[in-house]
Amino acid sequence: MTASGPEDCPVETTNDIRIPCPAGWSRQRTEGTDLVLLAPPAGNGAFRPNVVVTSQPYDGSIAKLSTFAMAAAIAELDRAHLIACNIWPHPAGNGRQIEYTHQLGNQVLHVQRWTFAVNGRAVDVTATCAATQLTAFDELFGYLAAKIEFRRAG
Amino acid sequence: MAAFPHKEPRTEAFASVHTGEQLEQLSGIAARQPYVSQGPWLTAGSLQLLQTAAESGRLGRFGIAGKAAELDQLVSAGLLTDKGKLTGQGRLVTSPWRDSVASLRIAAQFGGRASVFQAWLGPEGCLVLAGPSYDRFLAGNSQAGHQLDFLALGHLYPAIAAWVGIAPAWSLASEPLSIDLQTVNRRFGGETVPVPEGADPVLVNMWRQPWFIWQLLVEPESGHPETFINAGESGHYHLAVAEDRAQLNARPSGALYRDLARAIDRAVHR
């Protein structure tokens, strides 16, 4: 399985952010989320990599938001293994890049989550693929994360 | 909708003071995500018996003579019958020894004590033999022997990450410092070695952490293996060696995880 290239990405928007949509990916409506982008099906029951944007009111620190996100991953997911928590600088305000694996059924999934405390809101962009797909999708996910724009200037 | 806590989180003392930012505490996470395997712990003698059985399908009468204790471990694990014949499960689990596409080996040491993690990647799955992991050394609970497991390929990634203790840490930049290799080697041995002269505060803090030192070897392929140091709350470091001098370079945990993932992928898709 190979990831599509980042060229010619149309932009998808939520109330909070703008993010590119990779060529061939589809946008889905899913309750409780602001945006879901789904990779085209690859067949063979392979996991479909996806990007999910969620947001909610929040006026605390990014340190607290980050700690909350990591604690939630450990508490709510099966065999979560935290890999990284890095400062993710953004002109709108500092964020974090949090990374972990967890088990879903028989699969091990790899999650990168960019989380921001901006404009009185907590905004999460979560990119998920199978652990075995990371090498193929890492560059695309990194590109999407680098292109996140907040719609209301902070 | 999530209920956010009111309280601010604990901060990582050194990293927050050093950067002047409120940085949440990350140390302590590694200890809470240990290497977990449901597989049996095997002694060196049992392992040898299992390898002999895997080669020929069964152990003869002479093969098991005087080895009741070793055989017993393998029978309890469901790998051999009490006559010394491989069970169906035993055949599956040991299949990567006969038919592996690649194998990888991580040699580690902590406080002068050694351990090893080995995986043979076969078409049916990965045979894993894991000695004491990072979290066990940290907890002072490093029993001898190897824990055997059989994993689907996808499960190998977090298994290795857990075994070497990859976890979030604030990777702080430090001034490059050329250190005498002998000094680093003595520090590897667990001796109390003074902090090298000229070390900046980040390196001083790193030098004082417990070190778990490891090298990854992938067969076939490997050139010279790279050396990495898991330095607790200071995160991970790569040891760059040139002749008799060494330099410690921070390697953020996410980048290190990718080093491992790429090594596995290359081995599989060679």
CB contact under 8 A, B24 and A67: yes
B265 chain-A contacts, CB cut-off 8 A: 132, 135
Q: Is A104 on the interface with B (CB under 8 A)?
A: no
Q: Is A46 on the interface with B (CB under 8 A)?
A: no
- Residue to test with chain A: of B12, B33, B156, most A Cβ within 10 A: B33
pLDDT at B172 over 60: yes
B157 chain-A contacts, CB cut-off 8 A: 101, 108, 110, 131-132, 134
- Predicted confidence (pLDDT) per residue in B81-133, tens digit: 999 999 999 999 999 999 988 999 999 999 989 999 999 999 999 999 999 99
- As beta bridge partners, residue B104 has B119, B218
Q: Is A98 on the interface with B (CB under 8 A)?
A: yes
In Å, how far are A62, A116, B23 from A65, measured between CA atoms? 5, 8, 11
- Predicted confidence (pLDDT) per residue in B242-268, tens digit: 999 999 999 999 999 999 999 999 888
Among residues B65, B60, B63, B95, the alpha carbon closest in space to that of B79 is found at: B95
Q: Is A120 on the interface with B (CB under 8 A)?
A: no
Task: Note the maximum CA span of chain A.
Answer: 44
Query: Which tokens go with B238?
Result: 């790569």
Fold type of domain A11-150: Protein Transport Mog1p; Chain A (3.40.1000)
Summarize the confidence of residues B219-226 as an average pLDDT.
80
- Predicted confidence (pLDDT) per residue in A30-62, tens digit: 899 999 999 999 888 899 999 999 999 999 999
- Give me the helix-helix angle, B88-98 and B44-56, nearest 10°: 90
- Nearest-CA distance A25 → chain B (Å): 24
* Residue contacts between A and B (CB atoms, under 8 Å): 98
User: Chain centroid to CA A92: how far?
Assistant: 17
Task: Reduce the DSSP state of residue A34 to 3 states and report it.
Answer: coil
CB atoms within 10 A of CB A135: 17
In this prediction, residue B72 carries a pLDDT of 95
| ipTM given for this complex | 0.94
Q: Is A70 on the interface with B (CB under 8 A)?
A: yes
